[in-house]
Structure 1
Amino acid sequence: MLSIPASILQNYNEAISHEWLETNGLGGFSSSSAIHCHTRRYHGLLVAAVIPPAGRMVLVSKLEETIVSNGQRFELGVNDYGAVIHPKGYNYITGFTKDLFPEFNYEAAGIQLKKTIAMVHGENTVLVAYNVTKAPQPFTLELLPLLAARGYHSLQHANGAIPHQVLFDNNTLKANAVQGTPGIFIKVPGSTWQPNTGWYYNFHYNIEQSRGLDYIEDLFTHGRFSVPLQQGDSLGIVISTDDPLNKNAHDLLEQEKMRRQALLKDQADNETLQQLLLAADQFIVKRGTGSEEGATIIAGYHWFTDWGRDTMISLPGLCLATGRYEDARRILLAFASTISNGMLPNRFQDNGEPPEYNNVDGTLWYFIAIYRYLQATNDQAFVITRLLPVLKDIIDWHYRGTRYNIHADDDGLLYAGETGYQLTWMDAKIGNWVVTPRMGKPVEIQALWYNALNIFAELLALNDQPADAALVRNSAARAKESFGKIFWNTNGNYLYDVIDEQGHPDATLRPNQLLAISLPFPLVDDEKAEAILSIVTEKLYTPVGIRSLSPDDSRYTGVYEGDPYKRDSSYHQGAAWSWLLGPYIDVIMKLDGSGKKALTVINNFLYHLQEGCLGSIAEIFDADKPHRPKGCVAQAWGVAEILRVIKEYRLLEK
């Protein structure tokens, strides 16, 4: 169980650095800081995915709570209004824990309340349960819903678009927030309703301000609920886009509890793995409806949708290491139908626009994901029948040439790049400026290409095509030979990062070369692998991730901060990436199979589960100490790769 003590929760600046996240398997979520003071535009009690997993909207931002006892009012909420923090409900919070769900403990006027927040899997529904563990006398709990009713990337400001009329019946409020948005239902058993419409102004979101973005919002209310309570009472609230007429919050909470416990059935004695398994569950979501319903992976919360590259890197850790083979199968099949000109989409957009295909590596990671699926399940019939024809089409397009000048070159290696496009995972772009263009032959693309060819050859052999398999193996061998001739940096004793479009080597020290060792079919021998591991450990390793650039480089940026321009220009120029610990540990295990060094890496990392978004793993970290978490608070491939290597190498059993 993860926990935050009262000493931190009652220190405002410390408390707001901790966050919690609930998700619903649709792309929707509920999230805030540990004291319910919103610090991001993405924080909200009900953030619904209207077109799963996209079309996300912050519908209900907050549910402000006030205890009324003996004529006194104790406001439990916390809001940043810029010049003032009001109310200061963090003075009443005595503890926060994260086990199956986030739970909050409050004490005021001798009354002790435990609050649990949970999202219902497969619904745009959030549950809020209050248990009165102690109360010297009966009291009233007032609840003030504050609505944002907006797209989750935007902010709301006072306007006349939100209808003031609501319906309150059977303890349930129904509000039509804005035309074209879902209705909002709030069911509070045993409550009375006092209408009082109006705006609350100037909520400040300090993280948005620090990111150089607009950060002030207004929220709307229709009025407030009042509920009489006493010791021993339990109040269950349902907040949903669907009518909760026949739904009971406590029943739904118990069902969700059982669903999550089932995910942990094989890890009853390991709390670290339990939290990672719960974190993994948050990224696997539905895509599509009806007969076309498939599955995909949200790249990161709060603002990413599903990306081809992130999905394929994450699939082994989120699905295979957790035994969720059917989810893996559905994801692989769903992406097979999206391939165009031999390419997987780079990302799906929020509002139904066509997918973007500006990547070279996501398609190649698809081969790795399929290969690991086959290793985990031995599901040859599915792979050969449904996926091999797709892989053949991809290989053919890469030899023929596809978008962005992606093609197999005369030396057997893969060339990629056009001016103005970012095609690898180092994909930051500011206007027309590609920060790390890496046109030509990036080192990790060659590793992925070599692996794709070998995997394709193995599948052809499984399909009784030995002659075709031999031809592809010859192509792979040619690529490996060419790689060996041009990629080794003799002076630095490591691999060049890119051979550019003029054939010039780039000696920038980056972590991409790890993939030339870590993937199933390595491109370098043990001696060179040892040299690479040594310099990566010396210059790039941090306890929470691998730096994207050596501190010796003049472009190195140790702290990721500032406005969008400053942040994007430093995104891959030093920031430490959590997902790269996976390939780093793979290399350690290939060179030292005992697991002791790898276990040390994991143990050095685990403190992070207690900071930032509790129980999950941040996207990036400052390259310099103290390596503060930055970027998305919960990132799929970070969780996936840590979970994968722990399970694959049984590190927590050593």
Structure 2
Amino acid sequence: MPKAPTENADHGFCVNLKAGDWLPKYILDRMKLNQKLNKLANFFENKFSLHNAKEPECFAKLFSYLFKTVRHVAIEKISENSDMLKRKTNLDIKQKLAYSSISFMAYMHNSELPQLSTSVVPNKEAKLPTLSAGLPHFVNGEYRNWGRDTFIALPGILLLTGRFEEARHIILGFAGVLRHGLIPNLLNGQGGKQPRYNARDAVWFWLAAIFQYIKIVPKGEKILNDKVRRIFHTDDAKVEDETNKKKEEALKETMHEALRRHFEGIKFRERDAGHAIDGEMGPNGFDVQAYIDHKTGLVFGGSEFNCGTWMDKMGSSPLNMSIPATPRDGAAVELQGLALLTAETLAKLSESGLFHKPGLEAKGTKWTWSEWANILRKSFQDEFFIPKDTKEGPPVNKKGIIKDSFGCSNKYGDYQLRPNFFIAIDAVPDILDGLDNGLDKTWAAIKLAGEKLSGPMGMRTLDPDDDVYRPNYYSNKPGQDRLEAKGWNYHQGPEWLWVAGKYHSAKLKVAHRLKTLRPGNAEAKKAWDDTVAELNERIKIYTKHIEQDVWASLPELTNEDGAVCGDSCNAQAWSVGCFLEALDTYDTLSGSK
């Protein structure tokens, strides 16, 4: 249990208790809203009615007892359907993170999921929970439900903890608001009736989450035939209402539409473009494009005027207004890994008869899934790896690395060392195998990046040797440094935890391949042993943090060398979810029981 602020009389917890009995009453009233919690509410009510129960010192002791009891039952309950939580290896940190995962899931009346097909949820009035991106900043309202955050976090937060039905509902709910071939960046509350489609990566994380669902959930492939209720029948259609004819289709059809639209080429201007939807974006930033290139198979998109990946900081100071700090336009590295995962997975599903389409066709080009995968893989190897013996001069500043992008409007941006390639390696660990000594090159790239980017809690979002590296984030920082003004350096050095989870997963997979493919090789064994030791060190750091943190969770990011970032979420869903995935990866590869 995290340390309670019982000795600080000025802490909000104590101040609220001194103000009356509203806090215990609030806790009870919230429980009573859910009929399934009636017994628990009665249990709490009985304890709260004890003599002196509402006096701060007594209440703190009582609440500590209740907290421990409920925590024990919650972990017991969440472990019932979780294979990961049945394994004893690293069980303490798994349980801590699994318990934290519960806090992100809740029904919020102003942050509802789009209505699902009655074939999935017969009760139209059902109050379905959604997944908060982080606490306390994204509890409810328009900023609770982010497309990319949801699907980056979902495999760890819901699938590994056995909450399969909630995961299914969220996957199908977001599928219902597919538009222009994209999953929205923001649902914007109101059941997905006013979403924004300014993220070109959310759809790829959505697809990856579906594949994880199929892999983890018993008979998970059935989700491909689950009905999706489409909120927008066409790109320009108004929101479906009771007077409109409903449109429902199998999830696999929605998935194929998303990919087909990318193959055809996506290009549109956001609805209501201007200050009404974004006071910081410049006029050209509202023009969105994304496409699969018919020559290289790579996924391109964006422009110098917007920032459609997770590194999405738009300038908001007079010094940098309407200028994206990290546009990452062109072919962002993580999307190539996710696209290759998609192509290779759909090839297998199609061959087994589980997916209804054999590939993509548009503008005179026709590819099977396998053909797309082969073309994409070759292009990735040609365009993203920088050999140590390259003769290429500036803007190359590091050799033996995997580039952050290809075809960026800012050529230097392609060659910056960032942690985004970990996502691609985690998705497809053998992505460089077509190169001479491709496995060794992959290992060397991860090892070098780890040495440069690893912080105590998270991964630096930019190489410290980079001229624009600024590791401390303050969202409202004034001053004359354009690179830091109003937090423009959000992804230019601060240390993010979710990519640390991806780093550990990717490194474990590559180290395991080395050990497996080279039995008896001392260097390969050392690579695995060092990788496990590094993971164990991170576990110690996270365990200590959770035990001392009143949120009992992992934050969004830290400042330089793990320093607390006051503008970070104290509990972030993808930080928790991605590290749970790393722990599960270790279990799987090591044969933990």
Q: TM-score range by the shorter chain?
A: 0.5 to 0.7
Give the match for residue 262 of structure 2. Answer: 398
1:511 Cα deviation (Å)?
Answer: 0.4
Q: Which amino acid aligns with 1:598?
A: L
Q: Which amino acid aligns with 1:435?
A: A
Equivalent in 269, 282, 302 of residue 136 of structure 2:
302
1:552 Cα deviation (Å)?
Answer: 1.2
Equivalent in 381, 398, 406 of residue 484 of structure 1:
381
- 2: CA distance, partners of 1:429 / 1:419: 11
Give the match for residue 380 of structure 1. Answer: 221
SS where residue 406 of structure 1 aligns? Answer: strand
- Does the Cα contact within 8 Å between 1:620 and 1:629 map onto a contact in 2? no
Matches within 5 A, 1:148-187: none
- Does the Cα contact within 8 Å between 2:2 and 2:550 map onto a contact in 1? no
Judged with a 3 Å threshold, the aligned counterparts in structure 2 of structure 1 residues 122 and 354 are, in CA distance, closer, same or farther, namely: farther
Larger Rg: 1
- 1: CA distance, partners of 2:208 / 2:224: 13
Moved more, 583-592 or 545-554: 583-592
Give the match for residue 443 of structure 2. Answer: 530
Judged with a 3 Å threshold, the aligned counterparts in structure 2 of structure 1 residues 132 and 499 are, in CA distance, closer, same or farther, namely: closer
Matches within 5 A, 1:52-451: 62-65=16-19, 120=30, 123=33, 261-264=76-79, 270-286=91-107, 287-288=112-113, 290-291=123-124, 293=126, 294-304=128-138, 305-350=144-189, 354-377=194-217, 378-384=219-225, 386-403=250-267, 404-409=288-293, 410-431=295-316, 432-451=322-341
Judged with a 3 Å threshold, the aligned counterparts in structure 2 of structure 1 residues 311 and 66 are, in CA distance, closer, same or farther, namely: closer
Q: Please list the CA deviations of residues 38-57 of structure 1 after superposition, one character each: whole Å capped at 9, or x if unmatched.
A: xxxxxxxxxxxxxxxxxxxx
- 2: CA distance, partners of 1:297 / 1:3: 26
- Does the Cα contact within 8 Å between 1:454 and 1:472 map onto a contact in 2? yes
SS where residue 460 of structure 1 aligns? Answer: helix
Give the match for residue 153 of structure 1. Answer: none
Identical columns (%) = 26
Judged with a 3 Å threshold, the aligned counterparts in structure 2 of structure 1 residues 120 and 648 are, in CA distance, closer, same or farther, namely: farther
- 2: CA distance, partners of 1:396 / 1:652: 39
Higher helix share: 2
Normalising by the residue count of structure 2, what TM-score does the alignment of the two structures yield?
0.68
Q: Which amino acid aligns with 1:430?
A: G
RMSD: 4.1
SS where residue 405 of structure 1 aligns? Answer: strand
Judged with a 3 Å threshold, the aligned counterparts in structure 2 of structure 1 residues 121 and 545 are, in CA distance, closer, same or farther, namely: farther
1:284 Cα deviation (Å)?
Answer: 2.1
Q: Which amino acid aligns with 1:514?
A: F
SS where residue 560 of structure 2 aligns? Answer: coil
- 1: CA distance, partners of 2:53 / 2:3: 28
Moved more, 534-543 or 623-632: 623-632
- Does the Cα contact within 8 Å between 1:66 and 1:142 map onto a contact in 2? no
Query: Is the counterpart of residue 473 in structure 1 residue 473 in structure 2?
Result: no
Equivalent in 349, 352, 356 of residue 459 of structure 1:
349
Q: Please list the CA deviations of residues 342-377 of structure 1 after superposition, one character each: whole Å capped at 9, or x if unmatched.
A: 110111224676111111111001111111111112
SS where residue 486 of structure 1 aligns? Answer: helix
- Does the Cα contact within 8 Å between 1:321 and 1:648 map onto a contact in 2? no
Higher strand share: 1
Q: Please list the CA deviations of residues 279-318 of structure 1 after superposition, one character each: whole Å capped at 9, or x if unmatched.
A: 1111123434752744431111112211111111111101
Give the match for residue 520 of structure 2. Answer: none
- Does the Cα contact within 8 Å between 1:298 and 1:311 map onto a contact in 2? yes
- Does the Cα contact within 8 Å between 1:549 and 1:556 map onto a contact in 2? yes
Query: Is the counterpart of residue 560 in structure 1 residue 473 in structure 2?
Result: yes
- Does the Cα contact within 8 Å between 2:79 and 2:161 map onto a contact in 1? no
- Does the Cα contact within 8 Å between 1:116 and 1:130 map onto a contact in 2? no
1:556 Cα deviation (Å)?
Answer: 1.3
Give the match for residue 489 of structure 2. Answer: 570
Moved more, 539-548 or 591-600: 591-600
1:534 Cα deviation (Å)?
Answer: 1.5
- Does the Cα contact within 8 Å between 2:346 and 2:355 map onto a contact in 1? no
Q: What are structure 2's unaligned runs of at least 5 residues?
A: 116-122, 139-143, 227-249, 268-287, 317-321, 360-366, 389-398, 434-438, 478-483, 513-527
Q: Which amino acid aligns with 2:18?
A: E
1:520 Cα deviation (Å)?
Answer: 4.2
SS where residue 3 of structure 2 aligns? Answer: strand
Q: What are structure 1's unaligned runs of at least 5 residues?
A: 17-31, 38-61, 68-76, 78-101, 104-114, 144-228, 237-249
Judged with a 3 Å threshold, the aligned counterparts in structure 2 of structure 1 residues 292 and 273 are, in CA distance, closer, same or farther, namely: same
Moved more, 524-533 or 121-130: 121-130
Q: Count residues in correspondence.
A: 461
- Does the Cα contact within 8 Å between 1:384 and 1:463 map onto a contact in 2? no
